[in-house]
Chain A
Amino acid sequence: MSDIQYPESNRPEGFTQQGLGWQPWLAPVAEAELTEEQRGALIGQFRLKSPYFRLLVRNPEALEARTLTDQDIFYNVTSGLPRAEREIAASAASRINGCVYCASVHTDRATKESGREEDVQKLLDDGVEADLGQPWSAIAQASAALTETPSAFDAGQIDALREAGLDDADIVDVINGAAFFNWANRLMLSLGEPSQPR
């Protein structure tokens, strides 16, 4: 049994681009108790300090493979979609699944990459049907379609993405970005909860 002490819930009111905390519902590994394998799997200081990643490091191999997948999908800019557009895919999937924490992190990144805070806020306030301009609207709607069960992602989304100027390599980045957040959202939503900074 885990003997984690839960801080009181302090959820945000809704979707926000402001930084949020995240409280685990299951005990993370204490920093002092990490094995060498776990330290290696955390890949860097940022994750070492995070209760989310120190919880996931209970399975170090699965965490390491997850993180390396994430990094390449979102940060490999040698080709494909620009960074901001990838963050829009992540944000749209998070908006549909209802992951307030993931949406806060990735809308903030979309704003920092694009400078378009108001458009990003529209996605949070009005959802994926909001007019975000192109190619953002096509990317948000395609990401939402791929997030739905059963999948609503079909030739119509491919056409819309192509009309918005995306080529096949760009479209693969949208698919990977939205699909990855269907992984991340489920972990974030089910292993803990977002918290408003006190």
Chain B
Amino acid sequence: MSDIIDVLTGIESGSSLDAIRRTREQARQNAQRSFEVLFEPAEPGTFSLAERYAVSAYTVALQASASPAAAFYTELLEDEVSPELAAAVAELAERDRRAGPYGEYQETGLAAESVPGPTVSYAQRPNVVSERLAAALEHAHLLSLHPRDAEASHLRRLEEAGWNADDIVTLSQLISFLAFQIRVVDGLLALKGAA
């Protein structure tokens, strides 16, 4: 059976890349399971599906706007939530996209390698984006493009916007899993194209 990575890369059942992927069957199945538990949970709890899809569309648009994954996650948000929220999130991603990873090292010996850059604030935002979602998008920007700027205060900011510890862990997993998934897709597409 095809998984999402097959769909996004166009790897066909029975092809040589399919055969290679299947030599890592446990990884293949658990990359798919990761998607399912993060995006199709049986009980989303206080981290709504709408928030999950909005954060994912924004994250993928920031990191890999040219990837088939960007269209996939934007359509998920449009179809399952609303075109208005999809448009708002796409506009923020478009405006705040930049090359990464940048950021300042907090290890003193690495100061010379620091590449300072912006931390976004969505205090001013479209009406369709709640304060709670805005905090999650700010966190997605940090993790996507400049994770080495992360500090404990960023988690306090999420807590102030209504995120509990369990949901902060799930939010972090969701953003970080996408960083993995889009790179697998990018890598496999390059390999497929060079065959």
User: Interface on A for B, CB 8 Å cutoff?
Assistant: 1-2, 6, 11-15, 25-27, 55-56, 58-59, 61-63, 65-66, 68-69, 71-73, 76, 78-80, 96-100, 146-151, 153-155, 157-159, 168-169, 171-172, 174-176, 178-180, 182-187, 189-191, 193-194
Q: Write out the residue numbers on chain A whose beta carbons fall within 8 Å of the beta carbon of B176.
A: 182-184, 186-187
Q: List 11 A-B contacts (CB under 8 A).
A: A62-B37, A62-B173, A69-B31, A98-B148, A100-B107, A151-B67, A153-B183, A155-B193, A158-B190, A191-B172, A193-B106
Kindly state the interface size class of chain B when it binds its partner. 35 or more
Interface string of B153-195 (1 = CB under 8 A from A): 0110001000001101110110111011111101110110111
User: In the complex, are the beta carbons of A146 and B187 less than 8 A apart?
Assistant: yes
A26 touches B187 (CB 8 A): no
**Chain B binding surface SS class:** helix
**Which residues of B from 113 to 155 have beta carbons under 8 Å from A?**
113, 139, 142-145, 147-148, 150, 152, 154-155
Determine whether the beta carbon of A59 is less than 8 Å from that of B166.
Answer: yes
Q: With A182-B179, A190-B142, A191-B172 given, is the CB distance from A172 to B37 under 8 Å?
A: no
Also in contact, A179 and B17, with CB within 8 A (given A12-B107, A98-B105): no
Q: How far is the CA of A126 from the CA of B173 in the complex (A)?
A: 31
Q: A149 with B100: in contact, given A14-B107, A172-B191 (CB under 8 Å)? A: yes
- Bound CA–CA A1/B182 (angstroms): 32
Q: Taking the nearest CB of chain B, how far is it from the CB of A54, in angstroms?
A: 11
- Return the contact of A179 from the options B110, B148, B169, B187 (Cβ within 8 A): B187
In the assembled complex, B16 has its CB within 8 A of some CB on chain A:
yes
CA distance A66 to B190 in the complex (A): 24
